[in-house]
Structure 1
Amino acid sequence: RGLNMMVAGLADLARSNRAATADLNAAAAEIRASAQEQAASVEEQFAAVQETAATVDEITHSGAQISKRASEVIATAQATARTSRQGLRAVSDTAQAMDAIREQAEAVAGNIVGVSEKTQAIGEIIESVNDISERTHLLALNAAIEAAAAGESGRSFAVVASEMKLLADQAKAATGQVRAILGEIQRGINTSVMLTEEAVKRSAVGKTRSDTTQRTI
């Protein structure tokens, strides 16, 4: 009986051991599965860390390129600003030069008008001289006729009449030459007036364009 009781106890102990062993095997399987899951998670985390590091490197590289491009843009903007300031000074100088040209052209136009008025006055004087020469020529002819009618006693008077006629002819020829010269001068004055007016208009247009350029810059 004691032996049977001992065998029964050993059987119970064996069953308990088998149950404990099964429990241990199940726990070991769970631990192994959990370890594998953790290993896979660690690998995923490592891959994510590597990807994050690569992204950070790309961002750093892109940031360096952006910084370089920004420096280039700043340098270009500064150069453009310097060029714009130089352009503004040049445009301002051009506008002042246009104003000076316009003032000079207006002054020249005024002088030309004065010269034109003087040439007209000279023309009137020439007309008077020409009229005098024609009258003198007529008087010389009348004197020559009277001298011829007087005969021998009017010979000296005929010489004087001949000289008066010669002087009248010379005066008339001179007035004709002066009139021709005055005509050329008047045509030149008219041309100068038109050119001066055109210069004033062009200087005004240039001033307007300079102002527009200055506002644009």
Structure 2
Amino acid sequence: MNRLLKIGGLRLKLVILVILVSTIPLSIMGGVTFHTMKGDLATNVDAALVDQLWWLLWGLWVVAFLIALAIGWFAANMLVRPLERLASGLEAIASGQADLGHRVEVTTDDEIGRTSTAFNAVMERLSGLITQVADAADGIAASARQLEGRSNELSRETNEQRSDVEQVVTAMNQMSATVQEVANNTQSTAESAGQATRAAEGGRNVVQATQGSINALASEIRKASTVIDELKGDSDNIGSILEVIEEIAEKTNLLALNAAIEAARAGEAGRGFAVVADEVRHLAQRTNDSTGEIREIIQRLQGAAGKAVQAMEVSQQQAEASVSKAGEAEETLGYIHDSVTTIDDMTRQVASATEQQSQVAEEINRNIHHINDIAVRSADGAREMQEAVEALEGLAERLQAEVAGFRQQPA
């Protein structure tokens, strides 16, 4: 309403201006002419003729006024209507609800016509720009949705990987504790084997020193028999420990295989973890092979211990039967001494290998903890990426909302 009043006021002002400009010269000329004629005619004609001339001039002035009014109205329409169309288009753009397909009609070739032509060119350029912006906003929104889906998938996979790594960390901690326990038990076994060696050496010296004393010999033989029984019991315990080690090796092998499969699923990001998992699997295989060798040694040890028990029983019977068997008992004790020494050496080798395995397990445990830290950082990065994608999607929606206010020109 205010805009119509403003445009109507402008049209009225233009009409009045044109009328004034058109009638002022005519009024001046008519007044001068009338006074001149009145002065001239006052001496020659009568008053009736003067009045007729007066009314004639008034009639001419009215006709001139009407003509000026028509010219003013026509000029106002020629000037105001194009300006009104331009104002309407500009106000629509300013309000954000413009029809970008709308064009102002160009009816003249003057300044207003050139202004209308420039306005149409601006609208054409703005239409193309808004179309490009709308397409870009749609592309950004689509990319944001795609990135959001990929980010969610990556976050889920990272969380799964982190959970798997935590399970591996727990298993490695348990394995490290078990390996350490095996090392301690092996050390105890080595100490027991050393004690058995010293006991056999003592029995041998006693037999050499007291061949004439059957009771002393029998007593020492009984002591040696007791030590061998303990050795056999320790051998049985080692067999149980080896079963535990074999079970751990099998579980470690399966865990390494599962870790390698998960690393293969992770692609490039899991390549380093796949190498570690493969090393763990090889370590488990070597542990399994070493356990088999140790089992064979323990079986031979148990067989030797059983033979030693039998030999000690026979030696005891022979010692009680005759002093002449003391020499044979001495030889038997020498054999036992050598066997126990061999067992002691083997047990120490097992202890050394177990200690090395414990160190390797600790190194693997540190590497897996490092992988776990990387997985945590990857999860944090995936979460930050998801937040950035959500912000990008919000910006795309705002841009689409801003562009939606402009109606595009139909193709």
TM-score (norm 2): 0.40
Matched to 2:358, the amino acid is Q
Matched to 2:159, the amino acid is A
Deviates more, 1:88-97 or 1:50-59: 50-59
Q: 1:25 aligns with which of 57, 60, 70?
A: 60
Q: Which runs of 5 or more structure 2 residues have no equivalent in the other structure?
A: 1-43, 88-103, 105-115, 212-323, 391-411
How many residues matched? 202
In the TM superposition, what is the alpha-carbon distance from 1:88 to its structure 2 partner? Answer: 0.3
CA distance in 2, matches of 1:14, 1:143: 185
In the TM superposition, what is the alpha-carbon distance from 1:136 to its structure 2 partner? Answer: 1.3
Matched to 1:187, the amino acid is Q
Distance 1:168 1:65, change over 3 A: closer
In the TM superposition, what is the alpha-carbon distance from 1:124 to its structure 2 partner? Answer: 1.5
CA distance in 1, matches of 2:340, 2:145: 78
In the TM superposition, what is the alpha-carbon distance from 1:17 to its structure 2 partner? Answer: 4.1
Matches within 5 A, 1:198-213: 198=369, 202=373, 205-206=376-377, 209=380, 212-213=383-384
The aligned counterpart of 1:89 is 153
Encode CA deviations 1:25-62: one digit per residue, 9 max, x unaligned.
33344344434433432442355257452387345753
The aligned counterpart of 1:176 is 348
**Pair 1:71 & 2:135 matched:** yes
Matched to 1:202, the amino acid is D
User: 8 Å contact 1:140–1:161 — kept in the other structure?
Assistant: yes
User: 8 Å contact 2:183–2:351 — kept in the other structure?
Assistant: no
Deviates more, 1:153-162 or 1:91-100: 153-162
User: 8 Å contact 1:102–1:200 — kept in the other structure?
Assistant: no
Matches within 5 A, 1:37-186: 37-45=72-80, 47-48=82-83, 51=86, 53=104, 54=116, 57=120, 58-59=122-123, 62-63=126-127, 65-144=129-208, 160=332, 162-186=334-358
User: 8 Å contact 1:95–1:210 — kept in the other structure?
Assistant: no
Encode CA deviations 1:108-136: one digit per residue, 9 max, x unaligned.
32233223323322222221112101221
Q: Greater helix percent: which structure?
A: 1
Distance 1:82 1:103, change over 3 A: same
CA distance in 2, matches of 1:101, 1:159: 59
Matched to 1:125, the amino acid is T
In the TM superposition, what is the alpha-carbon distance from 1:66 to its structure 2 partner? Answer: 2.5
Distance 1:43 1:134, change over 3 A: same
CA distance in 2, matches of 1:189, 1:23: 124
CA distance in 1, matches of 2:195, 2:328: 26
Distance 1:50 1:170, change over 3 A: closer
Distance 1:189 1:126, change over 3 A: farther
Q: What percent of counterpart residues are identical?
A: 10
User: 8 Å contact 1:137–1:169 — kept in the other structure?
Assistant: no
Distance 1:169 1:20, change over 3 A: closer
Encode CA deviations 1:149-180: one digit per residue, 9 max, x unaligned.
xxxx8876665565455445434433433333
Matched to 1:82, the amino acid is Q
In the TM superposition, what is the alpha-carbon distance from 1:14 to its structure 2 partner? Answer: 3.9
CA distance in 1, matches of 2:180, 2:186: 10
User: 8 Å contact 1:143–1:157 — kept in the other structure?
Assistant: yes
Matched to 1:209, the amino acid is D
The aligned counterpart of 1:15 is 50
User: 8 Å contact 1:123–1:179 — kept in the other structure?
Assistant: yes
Encode CA deviations 1:45-98: one digit per residue, 9 max, x unaligned.
355257452387345753553344223212311221122012101211221121
Q: Which runs of 5 or more structure 1 residues have no equivalent in the other structure?
A: 1-9, 148-152
Q: What CA RMSD, in Å, does the superposition of the two structures yield over aligned residues?
A: 3.8
CA distance in 2, matches of 1:46, 1:109: 88
State which structure, 1 or 2, has the greater radius of gyration over its C-alpha atoms.
1
Matched to 2:356, the amino acid is E
CA distance in 2, matches of 1:195, 1:68: 52
User: 8 Å contact 2:162–2:372 — kept in the other structure?
Assistant: no
Matched to 1:27, the amino acid is V
